Structure 1
Amino acid sequence: MTTHTAPDAVSPIDLACPLRVADLRRAATEVTVYIAAEVRDRVRRSRDHLRAVLGDNRQVYGATTGFGALVGFAGRDDDADQCDNTLAHLGAGQGPDIDPEVVRAAMLVRVWSLGQGTSGVSLRVVEGLAAMFGTTFVPAMPRLGSVGASGDLIPLAYATQSLRGRGWAYLDGDRRPAAEALATAGLTPLRLDGRDALALVNGTSLTTAATALALDDIRRAHRAAQLLSCLLVDVLGCDPGQFLHPRLLAAYGHPGAADVGARMRECLAGAVPSGGRPLQEAYSIRCTPQLLGAAEDALRYVDGVVESDLRSVSDNPLFFPDDDLVLHGGNFFGQPAAFAADVLATVAAQLGNLVERQLDLLVDPVRNGGLPPMLAAGPGRQHGLQGAQLASTAMVAEIRRQATPAGMQSLPTNLHNQDVVPFGTQAALRAVDQARLLRLICGTLAVGLRQAVHVGARTPTAPACGAVLERLAEIVPAIDPDRPLDADVRRAADLLDLLTEPPQLPASAG
């Protein structure tokens, strides 16, 4: 397969190395995916093992049989026909296309899994998928259809068909027929047999990728909430020496709270309390280390699940040439990511609750130290944050509405072959949606904090907080007079992304 590959400014993604979330982010743009000699060798050995097993007339699911509940019936004799037999019935997806970034991340997870040499696929499949990342080609993948049990069958089937030149794809952001997109990108359509086709669809790569990306986004929002909480404390003149005291949080006994408290104390170093605040602040201020700390502990659990999933072979059956084993099982069952994505939904909902309540406190003259209602420069003639708060409340409600756990909503299907299913795909894609809303709620509070100083709040006394406010003031003018704030909220969210960027690791690590 040939492709037009743009030179990388950083090292390629190496399929011989463990995947990281940073690799999934990089996969959104043109990047080289490197297939090391050891990867090629194990893929070839696995493929040779499949041929030997079939030569012995041993039964192999999907290669000699029908699929799912029809496993008891013979499949088609011709390899190419068996590929069509796999994919045709899975063309039943509905709904809008999944975001291209998520699709490309899912395909990276898939090619990494296939490259571990336990799937019995042709080397040309791994090479073809790797080549795609050197272009802007993105398979069009429908959102609805996966129950996350026997892998993400339907959405991955659409991606596979797209790579064969069937259906639809995106190239340079334009949706077009897949065959046309492949030709323009310089990619050769994939040629598959039944085992290749099944291996491409029989895994939870979409669920894993979406969960990983949602985790990354919600972690960023979590850092933003810590930063904004510190700025709120300083602008209002609260005394963090009480509720952030290390002895207090050590007595609480939860490591996340202690760690969040330490980061907030660092950000608030040098802050001088005004002396005019109540002895005990509202919970949206006083309990921030406990709430954000609990979120930190929950996110650490999700970290572990995502790390395991990114190192997981998600397929069925699996081939172990050294022991002449073909094992049929359930490594395509996405329950870990389903539970993890449900945890992300809960974290996103409570972070949204916190930030929205902090905004409500900030615009309320009864609790904000006498600042004008809605932080309006001229109340009545102007309305300040009134519209932005309404939008923030609506977004919180949407996050909360979506927070119903999906990982236990099992419905039997497929003639009770799939009699328990995890619905992790829905959980993961929903968490991606929630993260995007949470980001905008944080941006709204940031706009409010910038406006609070304009209408009479003190400038921050902690140097770190003062630096944040200066950056905000550079991109968000004072609201005086009123103006639409949608673009300001997005700019503030963009700035928070920059301010909360974690330290960068090397691009590739073994």
Structure 2
Amino acid sequence: MTSSTDSRSLVLDGQRTLTPADLEAAAQPLGVTLSDGARAAVARCAEFVRAHGASGKPIYGFSTGFGPLVTHAASSDPETHGIGLLNHLRAGQGDVLAPRVARAMLLARAWTLGKGHSGVSAEVLDVLAASLGTRFAPAVPEWGSVGASGDLAPLAHAAGTLCGEGEAFLGEERLPARVALERAGLRPLRLRGRDALALVNGTSLTAAAAALAVGAARASLGVALELTGVLVESLGASSEFTSPELLKLSGHTSAHATARRLAALLDGSTPRSGRPLQETYTLRCVPQLVGAVEETLQHVERVVTAELNGVSDNPVFFPDTGQVIHGGNFFGQQVAFAADSLNLAVTQLGNLAERQLDLLMDPGRNGGLSLMLSARPGAQSGLAGVNLAATSIVASMRRYATPASIQSLPTNGHNQDIVPFGTQAALEALRQSERLQLVQASLALGLRQAAYLGAPAPMSSAGAALLAFLCQCSSPVDPDRPLAEDVRRLATQLPRWRTQSSTEPAEAVHPRSRRN
């Protein structure tokens, strides 16, 4: 087996709380082990399902058909029945999920199955854990789930790859699944009993995508405050709007806390004369706006963490009491609402960054810097193209901010007659977080160019450190040059710049330096 070189590992014990950070870590090989206690609980539940079914008592999907075909008897061979389930559900379409998303989904599914209430065989957990310890990732089409009976189609594609069917990634290489398994040192999974249904009957893609989205949004919230701090200093604006006396009166603790964070970032800064008595809302109302985003993130984190650590399956089994309970834990409405809320919050951060860039490029408001931050207005266009692209991205963000969670359509022979579309909500929130990173990177590039053109240097230690980092990442725009790659590079590096600087302090680069 291709083993992990990463020091992170997780013990699946049915007790520990799985977090969004754990799912982010699953992008790389991750050591996952099943504790002895969890293994015993899983085996006990699988035996309970076998014995319950052998007694002739009905169990959905084990002794019956699937969905609206529940009134018909299942195939007499459980393995054939399970393979048929995966085959008919492997009808997804669209682009395949990024490997990191697919791997996060596998970890989320393993965590649920390890609770010991799904009747799955221990071999399934072993195969899931082994795959996460390698660079293997299933190739999963993004369209196919309505989020109501779990993420049936995406999880069926993933389960199929573990059985050697379909396609999978090994690192960045897309291969036939059987080849990818072999190269990763993994053996194909053989389905038994209720394994197939347990693998697909849950909200693991919805929860995983939402977890990754909220993690990205959390990083972008920090970036929003850091960039705002440098913008305030670049304009020589006053930080009066962060006054604790002012924010206490707002009644919102999140706005007050956000103002404290921003005030700390601006510690040491000095306003200059000539600025308006009151700055525009893109500066003055940042504590209120970003504070509201913080509240939203806290709510989404609570909902997503609960979903990751619950059992989204049907039916669920209780060997200790002999109960088999049929219900709807796989109906992902909570995460759907939460992901839509996250989408709105991320879009507003995009609005903020785009408007701040516009402020920075306007000579009437930016303290006398040139229009479009051009080094030679007329002969050069500066960041005019970056400005247009940022506007385009924000327009796209607004268009995709329409809630998915209210788009219910009856399907599945009216068995699923109301659906939450949580998968679409979560995947869209994740895409929105990526769009936001591009807009924030555009603003960062503007701040770097403003420094080159003579904007006041940050006096705060936080602002000086960030500007030094930006100067390392991108050279001045003089003369004009293509900037698409600069924006993409900053979009990748900005969310983690603090981690890098804490271990490797940014080398001082004069803002007028041409170094890249």
CA distance in 2 between partners of 1:500 and 1:389 (Å): 26
**For residues 451-490 of structure 1, what are the structure 2 equivalents within 5 Å?**
451-490=449-488
Offset of residue 176 of structure 1: 1.3
Offset of residue 356 of structure 1: 0.1
Offset of residue 502 of structure 1: 11
Task: Tell me if the contact between 2:89 and 2:156 (Cα under 8 Å) persists in the aligned partners.
Answer: yes
CA distance in 2 between partners of 1:446 and 1:87 (Å): 47
Deviates more, 1:54-63 or 1:12-21: 12-21
Q: Which residue of 1 aligns with 2:178?
A: 179
Offset of residue 492 of structure 1: 2.5
Task: Tell me if the contact between 1:13 and 1:23 (Cα under 8 Å) persists in the aligned partners.
Answer: no
Offset of residue 499 of structure 1: 3.1
Question: Which one-letter code corresponds to 2:226 in the other structure?
Answer: L
Q: Which residue of 2 aligns with 1:444?
A: 442
Offset of residue 13 of structure 1: 4.7
In structure 2, the gaps of 5 or more residues are 503-516
Q: 2:380 aligns with which of 372, 382, 391?
A: 382
Q: Which residue of 2 aligns with 1:156?
A: 155
Task: Tell me if the contact between 1:220 and 1:501 (Cα under 8 Å) persists in the aligned partners.
Answer: no
Q: Which residue of 2 aligns with 1:262?
A: 260
Offset of residue 12 of structure 1: 3.9
Q: 1:399 aligns with which of 397, 400, 403?
A: 397
Q: Which residue of 2 aligns with 1:106?
A: 105
CA distance in 2 between partners of 1:197 and 1:419 (Å): 24
Q: Which residue of 1 aligns with 2:37?
A: 38
Cα deviation, 1:423-478, whole Å, max 9, x if unaligned, reads: 00001111111111101111110110111121121111222211211121122111
CA distance in 2 between partners of 1:167 and 1:409 (Å): 30
CA distance in 2 between partners of 1:10 and 1:51 (Å): 36
CA distance in 1 between partners of 2:7 and 2:340 (Å): 36
CA distance in 1 between partners of 2:438 and 2:94 (Å): 24
Q: Which residue of 2 aligns with 1:371?
A: 369
Cα deviation, 1:340-378, whole Å, max 9, x if unaligned, reads: 110111011100000000000000011111110001010
Offset of residue 501 of structure 1: 4.9
Cα deviation, 1:254-311, whole Å, max 9, x if unaligned, reads: 1110111000000001111102110111111111111111111111110110111121
Distance of aligned partners of 1:476 and 1:7 in 2 relative to their CA distance in 1, 3 Å threshold: closer
Q: Which residue of 2 aligns with 1:133?
A: 132
Task: Tell me if the contact between 1:413 and 1:419 (Cα under 8 Å) persists in the aligned partners.
Answer: yes
Question: Which one-letter code corresponds to 1:367 in the other structure?
Answer: R
Task: Tell me if the contact between 1:86 and 1:194 (Cα under 8 Å) persists in the aligned partners.
Answer: no
Describe the SS at the equivalent of 2:95: strand
Distance of aligned partners of 1:85 and 1:15 in 2 relative to their CA distance in 1, 3 Å threshold: same
CA distance in 1 between partners of 2:498 and 2:171 (Å): 29
Task: Tell me if the contact between 1:224 and 1:500 (Cα under 8 Å) persists in the aligned partners.
Answer: no
Question: Which one-letter code corresponds to 1:173 in the other structure?
Answer: E
Describe the SS at the equivalent of 1:143: strand
Aligned pair 1:324/2:322, yes or no? yes
CA distance in 1 between partners of 2:11 and 2:271 (Å): 49
**For residues 332-371 of structure 1, what are the structure 2 equivalents within 5 Å?**
332-371=330-369
CA distance in 2 between partners of 1:257 and 1:101 (Å): 33
CA distance in 1 between partners of 2:227 and 2:273 (Å): 21
Percent identical pairs in the alignment equals 51
Deviates more, 1:335-344 or 1:177-186: 177-186
Task: Name the TM-score, length of structure 1 as normaliser.
Answer: 0.96
Question: Which one-letter code corresponds to 2:25 in the other structure?
Answer: R
Cα deviation, 1:189-211, whole Å, max 9, x if unaligned, reads: 11113511000000000000000
Task: Tell me if the contact between 2:120 and 2:198 (Cα under 8 Å) persists in the aligned partners.
Answer: yes
Aligned pair 1:218/2:217, yes or no? yes
Offset of residue 15 of structure 1: 4.3
Question: Which one-letter code corresponds to 1:353 in the other structure?
Answer: N
Task: Tell me if the contact between 1:472 and 1:495 (Cα under 8 Å) persists in the aligned partners.
Answer: no
CA distance in 1 between partners of 2:120 and 2:501 (Å): 37
Alignment size in residue pairs? 501
Q: Which residue of 2 aligns with 1:85?
A: 84
Question: Which one-letter code corresponds to 2:394 in the other structure?
Answer: V
CA distance in 2 between partners of 1:213 and 1:131 (Å): 22
Question: Which one-letter code corresponds to 1:92 in the other structure?
Answer: A
Describe the SS at the equivalent of 1:323: coil
Task: Tell me if the contact between 1:31 and 1:134 (Cα under 8 Å) persists in the aligned partners.
Answer: yes
In structure 1, the gaps of 5 or more residues are 505-510
Offset of residue 500 of structure 1: 4.8
Aligned pair 1:238/2:237, yes or no? yes
CA distance in 2 between partners of 1:111 and 1:417 (Å): 27
Task: Tell me if the contact between 1:223 and 1:500 (Cα under 8 Å) persists in the aligned partners.
Answer: no
CA distance in 1 between partners of 2:483 and 2:280 (Å): 27
CA distance in 1 between partners of 2:24 and 2:246 (Å): 38
Describe the SS at the equivalent of 2:434: helix
Instruction: Name the Cα RMSD after superposition.
Output: 1.5
CA distance in 1 between partners of 2:478 and 2:51 (Å): 76
Task: Tell me if the contact between 1:13 and 1:31 (Cα under 8 Å) persists in the aligned partners.
Answer: no
Describe the SS at the equivalent of 1:198: helix
Task: Tell me if the contact between 1:410 and 1:423 (Cα under 8 Å) persists in the aligned partners.
Answer: yes
Task: Tell me if the contact between 2:27 and 2:103 (Cα under 8 Å) persists in the aligned partners.
Answer: yes
